[in-house]
Amino acid sequence: MHLHILGICGTFMGSLALLARELGHTVSGSDAGVYPPMSTQLEEAGIALCEGYSPTNLEPRPDLVVIGNALSRGNPEVEAVLDARLPYVSGPQWLAEHVLPGRRVIAVAGTHGKTTTASLVAWLLESAGVAPGFLIGGVPRNFGVSARLGAADAPFVVEADEYDTAFFDKRSKFVHYRPEIAVLGNLEFDHADIFEDLAAIERQFHHLVRTVPGKGLLLVADDEPALERVLAMGAWTPVVRFGEAAESPWRFELERDDASRFRVIHQEGQGKESVNEDAVVDWPLTGRYNARNALAALAAAHACGVDPARGAAALARFESPRRRQELRGEVANIQVIDDFAHHPTAIAATLQGLRAATARGRLLAVVEPRSNTMRLGTLRERLAESVAAADVAFWYRPEGLDWPLEPIIAASPVPAHLEQDLDALVAALVAEARPYDRIVVMSNGGFGGIHEKLLVALEVAHG
């Protein structure tokens, strides 16, 4: 079968393309913005990419068109699909119908940390010899690809996004997946372009909870009021909490302030029926939020038969996914780090984790408020404080941002600069950077290839 995918370079749709290719289908696709790491993955898999959207991309006529949620009515290729009465489907529905049937699905949901946690679950299962399938909204470096089928009888790990499914299906993507194990890591307001308020997102999360069978498992982070409200709507599945609360069956205690070493404590039952297990994780990641992600993954893997000690040992070999605290290069002892953080909470958590792990030199934060929520300015009152853990902040005004960044600069708790020209931003960073500084670039887009430009410019100035 020939599948043509609209929006193929999105993290979800690109991963879907890899699975379809692995199933033996002929796959092609279109997208308006093509950039690594997804474009590289697709080209290496032999998938034909069309730059831009046009009716001519539908020639020869595909058997099925899979339409990404970034596409809407008025798009020339969408209109051509409808006019030609081509069969079409959403990505989540195609996944649910062609990949997930018969699989033990582990769905990882939450406002933040989905990609890292899903990667952790897949790695823990892989390390235990289980050969899981997975679809992850990023590229786990332990695997080198964002999706694979895995063994037919092995669990399938899916990053469960709450964003809407398609222009013709406004439910959240994750309602299609029907997981046996659902990880609910956190929940706060985001995606202001499609959700009116936090309560609307909570309702979608409850739709996910409704689909988990009574013999399944809900792994829910403690100290998350929004998740407690979701559960209060009704839960028909055993709930196991994880985090730092003393009463949570899964909890962690830091042994290093930067969370690169922590103890995992697992306690179940009472009296003679109680089970007590603990293990120590010593790994390359930092940040309290990453310790929590790892705890969730250990609990999910444990439900599939992986004991905590074996899992903890495997985490020492875990490599963070691409664009999650990814070191892109180092020149004259100046590091350039790429991170996907694009929400005030994620920006703050990323910088706090790196701050705790920075023993020498300064932390320079570079932020592009590019996401749909950021473009709408919904959370802008929280942006200034989000960079408090940095020494210096550089803000970049992306095209299409129609609210002023100047008040963010004025309210910044650290020295802050504003640029709207990429070359000027690179020049300012090179002029500011000193040996042992760490430059952390945070955006959910390609950011004009700033990482490579910055490394080249640093080499010229300091190399």
Residue 413: DSSP 8-state: S
Rounded to an integer, what distance in angstroms lies between the CA atom of residue 252 and that of residue 281?
Answer: 10
Instruction: Please state the residue numbers annotated as binding site.
Output: 110-116
Residue in this structure with the two tokens 């691409």, named with its chain if needed: 322
In which element (H, E) is residue 409 found? helix 406-411
User: What is the reported pTM?
Assistant: 0.80
Q: Which domains does the chain possess? A: 2-89 (3.40.50.720), 100-315 (3.40.1190.10), 326-462 (3.90.190.20)
Question: Where is the binding site for ATP, in residues?
Answer: 110-116
Amino acid present at 110: G
Q: State how beta strands 217-221 and 239-243 pair.
A: parallel
> What's residue 77's pLDDT?
97
Give the pLDDT confidence score for residue 444 in this predicted structure.
77
DSSP three-state, residue 330: strand
Check residue 99 and give its pLDDT.
97
The Cα 213–Cα 179 span in angstroms is: 8
The tokens describing 130, both together, are 């289980």
Q: In what order do the strands lie in the sheet with 326-331?
A: 326-331, 334-339, 438-442, 363-367, 392-396, 416-419
How many other C-beta atoms can be found within 10 angstroms of the C-beta atom of residue 236? 11
For the record, the structure tokens of 41 come out as 């993955």
Contact 274, 302 (CB under 8 A): no
Closest listed residue to residue 246, CA positions, set 260, 232, 265: 265
Q: What's the pLDDT score for residue 376?
A: 66
Per-residue pLDDT of the chain (463 residues; tens, 9 = 90+): 999 999 998 889 999 999 999 999 999 999 997 666 677 778 888 898 888 999 999 999 999 999 999 999 999 999 999 999 999 999 999 999 999 999 999 999 998 888 889 999 999 999 999 999 999 987 888 888 889 999 999 999 999 988 899 999 999 999 999 999 999 998 887 766 777 888 999 999 999 999 999 999 999 999 889 999 999 999 999 999 999 998 999 999 999 888 889 999 998 765 555 567 789 999 988 888 899 999 999 999 999 999 999 999 999 998 876 677 778 888 888 888 888 766 787 788 888 878 877 778 898 989 888 776 666 666 777 788 888 888 899 888 888 777 788 888 888 898 889 888 888 888 888 888 889 998 889 887 777 788 888 888 888 887 6
Structure tokens at 340: 């996907």
> Nearest 5°: phi and psi at 136?
-130, 140
Handedness of CA 387, 388, 393, 397 (dihedral sign): positive
Rounded Cα distance, 162 and 285, in Å:
26
Find the angle CA(190)-CA(328)-CA(432) to the nearest 5 degrees: 85
Residue 152: φ, ψ to 5°: -60, -30
